[in-house]
């Protein structure tokens, strides 16, 4: 935090409020407000992100993803250079112990290319379950879910969540499902997979941007019934 920012009680108050227990929507609003006030304010946001992720090594949360997204959209060269220097591959550290390389998925999600990311996610899950490119089946049965390494499944879920303002991911879908007493019909309508009782058709009737409903993505065997998704939700625990 620069001296100028410390001397500005309004900016300081907003920065402090970002680290408090407020909703992601409120965090996004505050970050956008601060970013619009110029380079010094954006530097303060970048310092907050660096401090959280590199110095204090705090747990990766939705706030970090929102900070990263807003700072990436800046037209200030110095901010962009520093952001790239500290986070050249993105926010999520990908360990060698993972079964697959998830950097391509991270890059797609950073740029909010959600349809491409959805396809890649499906491919990676099939490979994790032992289905190779010569297999005629490119979807999963519920019996395949137990074959998915929990570490890999968790990192895929984290990538979706962090780069979507906490809106997308298997854990988000599971949370909505549990909040609606595990009622599948309510889930389909809440996450936008059904409209007025009619199942959406792939791909044109789905929303491939950040304005989609909570839990809308990834689709994950959307047309294969509830057994696979139920097994996935149980596996996530």
Residue 183, phi-psi category: left (phi > 0), alpha (psi -120 to 50), beta (remainder): beta
Does 93 reside within a domain?
no
Does 224 reside within a domain?
yes
Does 215 reside within a domain?
yes
Percent of the chain with pLDDT over 90: 81
| Domain total in the chain | 2
pLDDT single digits (tens) 133-145: 667 788 899 999 9
Determine the structural domain holding residue 34 and report its residue range: 3-86
**Residue whose structure tokens are 């929102």:** 66
DSSP secondary structure, 30-45, as one string: HHHHHHTT-HHHHHHH
Residues 57 and 123 reside in one and the same domain? no
Q: Which two tokens stand for residue 100?
A: 């697959």
Residues 29 and 129 reside in one and the same domain? no
pLDDT single digits (tens) 173-217: 999 999 999 999 999 999 999 999 999 999 999 999 999 999 999
Does 125 reside within a domain?
yes
CATH number, domain containing residue 230: 1.10.10.1770
Residues 79 and 136 reside in one and the same domain? no
Residues 134 and 228 reside in one and the same domain? yes
pLDDT single digits (tens) 40-96: 999 999 999 999 999 999 999 999 999 999 999 999 999 999 999 999 999 999 999
* Residue 20 DSSP label: S
Does 146 reside within a domain?
yes
Does 97 reside within a domain?
no
Cβ pair 98, 157 in contact under 8 A: no
Is the pLDDT at 146 greater than 80? The verdict is yes
Residues 55 and 107 reside in one and the same domain? no
Q: Is 184 exposed, middle or buried (0-12, 13-18, 19+ CB in 10 A)?
A: middle
Residues 191 and 115 reside in one and the same domain? yes
**Residue whose structure tokens are 């992100």:** 49
Residues 122 and 191 reside in one and the same domain? yes
Residues 10 and 45 reside in one and the same domain? yes
Q: What is the pLDDT of residue 35?
A: 95
Residues 55 and 113 reside in one and the same domain? no
Cβ pair 35, 45 in contact under 8 A: yes
pLDDT-based confidence at 223, cuts 50/70/90? low
- Rg of the chain over CA atoms, in angstroms? 19
Residues 67 and 116 reside in one and the same domain? no
Does 222 reside within a domain?
yes
Is the pLDDT at 1 greater than 50? The verdict is no
Contacts (Cβ under 8 Å, ≥6 apart) of 153: 128, 170, 232, 235, 236
Residues 138 and 229 reside in one and the same domain? yes
Residues 178 and 204 reside in one and the same domain? yes
pLDDT-based confidence at 6, cuts 50/70/90? very low
Q: What is the dihedral of CA 210, 165, 91, 159, to 10 degrees?
A: -70
């Amino acid at each position: 935090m620069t001296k100028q920012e410390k001397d500005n009680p309004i900016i300081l108050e907003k920065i402090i409020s970002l680290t408090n227990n407020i909703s992601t929507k409120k965090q996004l609003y505050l970050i956008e407000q601060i970013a619009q006030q110029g380079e010094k304010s954006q530097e303060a946001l970048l310092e907050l992100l660096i401090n959280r992720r590199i110095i204090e090594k705090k747990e990766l949360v939705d706030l970090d993803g929102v900070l990263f997204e807003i700072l990436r959209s800046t037209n200030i060269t110095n901010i962009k250079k520093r952001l790239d220097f500290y986070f050249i591959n993105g926010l999520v550290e990908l360990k060698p112990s993972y079964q697959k390389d998830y950097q391509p998925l991270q890059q797609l999600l950073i740029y909010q290319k959600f349809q491409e990311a959805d396809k890649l996610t499906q491919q990676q899950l099939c490979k994790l379950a032992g289905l190779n490119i010569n297999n005629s089946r490119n979807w999963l049965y519920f019996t395949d879910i137990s074959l998915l390494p929990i570490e890999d499944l968790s990192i895929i879920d984290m990538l979706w969540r962090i780069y979507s303002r906490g809106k997308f991911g298997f854990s988000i879908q599971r949370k909505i499902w549990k909040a609606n007493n595990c009622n599948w019909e309510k889930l389909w309508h809440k996450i936008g997979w059904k409209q007025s009782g009619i199942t959406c058709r792939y791909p044109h009737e789905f929303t491939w941007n950040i304005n989609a409903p909570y839990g809308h993505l990834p689709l994950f065997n959307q047309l294969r019934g509830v057994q696979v998704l139920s097994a996935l939700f149980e596996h996530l625990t």
